[in-house]
Structure 1
Amino acid sequence: GPSFSSAKMPSYNSSRQCSSSSSSSGGSSGTAASGSSGSNIATATAAAAAPQHQQSSSLSTSNVKQEADSEGITLEFKQGLPHLTIPLPSRRELCIFTLRPVTHNVAHLVSMLQTEDRGIDRVVLRTTDGIRIAATASVESLLLADFDLLINDICYRVHVPVQHRATMEEVSDINDVRQLVNKLYAALNVDEHQIARERDVLKEIEDIKAQLVPFEKARVKIVAAAERRTTVLMYCGLGYMALQFGFLARLTWWEYSWDIMEPVTYFVTYGTAIACYAYYVVTKHDFLLPEVWDRQFLLGFHRKARKSGMDVDRYNRLKNRLFDLEADLQRLRDPISLNLPPQHLVKIIAEQAEQGISTKAGPLAVLQQQLKSFIGMKK
């Protein structure tokens, strides 16, 4: 029979691997059945059927290869996207599927095949070694090498063009290109974005400052009253300690003797220690004078704020928001964010420009020029 070599087959076409084996198995089963009638008849039948079996097997092989040529899978790249042409088993017609290497995966390809042809029950993708490819594998990784596509019971070999196979160097080059594009986009659009963001921040800062004006007026009065109250309490404590010192001194040197007043002073000292410990138990803070001042000031401030009707919680929220906005504004105006040199480098560059030193020279040349100008030597 006619033979079809692999060189005559179009590129990227597939071959059915199961049909030729089925035809050869059918021929062998027919030979075995004819041999079961008897030994003499089996020998004659086998001798007569041998050329017929060879002819039928060659014809079946040629038919399979002809079907593979007409219904094979082709993979082409058009405008950077892979176009996979697959024969549909139900309608016996070709269908082109456009794949996206980055966003699509094997599951998308299987879904597109089953949606296009309802007669497809099973779609499996395997490597050339027979290892199944997971449904979550991306099309980009699938196109790195040749693979087998099994539709129902038909197996196709898909050949990926060599010039379109991505290597590790190309992948790294693609990443470099992506980074370059991101930097280019940032360089072209970051100024407009920062200006718009700065305008919004300034507008919100002005709004918050307008809301804080009545709070600030009330706060000034309340702070003055709280400080006055705290100062009075501190002077009262000082007066109490001075009065206690004078009273004990009067009893020690005028009314009684030291031997009688010594136990009294001991208990007075121990009572003061008990009072300090009680302060810690109640307030959970040590009896330190700065902390005592802050505590009394806050107590007086909140008491006066409640009497005057000032919303301290809203005032604190506005102040915190104002602090965050000012920090954002400072960050937006940062020279590093604007791709500008820092302030200390700006001063150095300005000094070098005044001295006529070229900033395009290397650091060693700049240092040599500075040393020469410092020593007083000429070039």
Structure 2
Amino acid sequence: MANFREKNGCSFLQEADGARVASSTGIDILLLDDFKLVINDTTHLVRPPRRELLPHEEAERLNDVKFLVQQLYTTLRIEEHQLSKERELIGRLEDLNSELRPLEKMKVELSKKAERRTTWVLWGGMAYMATQFGILARLTWWEYSWDIMEPVTYFITYGTAMAMYAYFVLTRQEYIYPDARDRQYLLFFHKGVKRTRFDIEKYNKLKDDVAEVELDLKRLRDPLQLQLPVQQLTTSKN
């Protein structure tokens, strides 16, 4: 309800007993009783029509109606805002995906090459171990004897342990086959990134932006976020 504001030519308002009415007094409060309107030093007595007070139950019912009207207005405004925001987010998502698509294609190619080279390294390690086993078996049972080859195998074992410790010193990670494999894959991948000048920072930023927009769309399309009535919420779920 609008509050009383003094206008040009209207000096002030007074209550029936002569007390001055504050300018912040609401019109609904002002009209509850008689008051005096002073214009150009002329006093006019205003007698608004009497309003009967509503019973308690009718007052509660009227408040419920006001609340439902306000909720309906809010729901309609939310739906309008949701549709506008959804169109904006979908447009942004399409722009991001169109910008990300060529980078994604290049990233897949680099990933395949790194995966292939990592597989070669793994099979190369397997071939080295098989070759070492064959040479030691040949020297032990055909060329020499176990008494001669035993110190050799000891030093080979100790050298392998030193190599594993050197890996830990350089990488600060224990030599576990899956971790070592992933590390080798990343090394090959980043070498390919440098060679092809693939903008990995831009790629990561676009991926983060796409994930953020998709999350915003998911939240926006959630009926619980719209404060919809129960019947409309059920329809939305169906």
Q: TM tier, shorter chain?
A: 0.5 to 0.7
CA offset at residue 303 of structure 1?
A: 1.1
Report Cα offsets for 1:346-378 as digits up to 9, x if no partner: 5xxxxxxxxxxxxxxxxxxxxxxxxxxxxxxxx
Question: The residue matched to 2:203 in structure 1 has which SS?
Answer: helix
The amino acid of 1:243's aligned partner reads: T
TM-superposed CA distance for 1:260, in Å, is 2.7
* Contact kept in structure 2, 1:226 and 1:301, CA below 8 Å: yes
- Secondary structure of 1:250 counterpart: helix
Q: 2:129: which partner in 1?
A: 241
TM-score, scaled relative to structure 2:
0.65
Paired AA for residue 230 in structure 1: T
Q: Are residues 1:218 and 2:106 paired? A: yes
1:128-277 pair list within 5 angstroms: 183=71, 186-277=74-165
Instruction: Report if aligned partners of 1:335, 1:342 keep a CA contact under 8 Å in 2.
Output: no
- The Cα offsets for residues 142-196 of structure 1, whole Å up to 9 and x where unpaired, read as xxxxxxxxxxxxxxxxxxxxxxxxxxxxxxxxxx9xx989855542311111111
Q: Residue 27 of structure 2: which of 79, 89, 110 is its match? A: 79
Q: Cα distance 1:342–1:181, how it changes in 2: closer, same or farther (>3 A)?
A: closer
Which ranges in structure 2 are unaligned for 5 or more consecutive residues?
Answer: 1-14, 31-63
Code of the residue aligned with 2:222 in structure 1: it is D
Question: RMSD in angstroms over aligned alpha carbons?
Answer: 3.2
Map of 1:293 onto structure 2:
181
Deviation at 1:220, TM superposition (A): 2.7
Moved over 3 A (4+): 73-78, 179-186
Query: Where does the alignment leave 5 or more consecutive residues of structure 1 unmatched?
Result: 1-10, 14-69, 83-175, 347-379
* Number of the residue aligned with 1:106: none
Mapped to 1, the partners of 2:138 and 2:73 lie a distance apart of 86
Given the alignment, which residue of 326, 329, 333 partners 2:214? 326
Question: Cα distance 1:242–1:328, how it changes in 2: closer, same or farther (>3 A)?
Answer: same
The answer to whether the Cα contact below 8 Å between 1:335 and 1:341 also exists between their aligned partners in 2 is no
Q: Taking CA–CA contacts closer than 8 Å with sequence separation of 6 or more, which of the two structures ends up with the larger relative contact order?
A: 2
Percentage identity across paired residues of the two chains = 47
* Displacement of 1:198: 1.2
Question: Which amino acid is the alignment partner of residue 284 of structure 1?
Answer: R
Distance 1:234 1:80 in 2: 85
Structure with a larger share of its residues in helix? 2
Relative distance call for 1:199 and 1:261 in structure 2 (3 A) is same
Question: Residue type matched to 2:133 in 1?
Answer: F
Q: CA deviation at 1:221?
A: 2.2
Which has the greater radius of gyration? 1
Normalising by structure 1, we get a TM-score of 0.42
- Structure 2 counterpart of 1:229, one-letter code: R
